[in-house]
Amino acid sequence: MTSAQGALPALYVLIALFCIPPILSLRACLKRAGHVRRRGRRGLWPMAGAAVSAAALAFNLGVVGIAALALGSDGTELGGIHALALGLSWLCFWIWLFVVVALRRRRRKMVY
């Protein structure tokens, strides 16, 4: 159970842990899918990553909303649903890292 003074920072930490990685991976996957489609390919893998990220974001927003309601009324304890949300967030972090590092465009070295 958290006190009234610790409820808002605890909610900020939950939002940062649960929502930022899915947002980053969704953005990177959509950007990569657009790049792949402009090159004339289908871009199924980036769209699959975007779908996983969107589903994880929706689920994690629901968990954060429930936690926010519970923090306001009687307090909350972290349980299995929070562990699942954190696992989805961790998966999205690795999707984002893969898209950013492994699938980045190769830049041509230009001679001036």
pLDDT in tens, 30-61: 999 998 899 899 889 999 999 999 999 999 99
Average pLDDT estimate for 77-92: 92
Residue 19 to residues 76, 85, 103, Cα–Cα distance (Å):
19, 9, 23
Task: Judge if pTM exceeds 0.85.
Answer: no
At 68, the pLDDT band (50, 70, 90 cuts) reads confident
Q: How many CA atoms lie within 13 A of 14 on its CB side?
A: 27
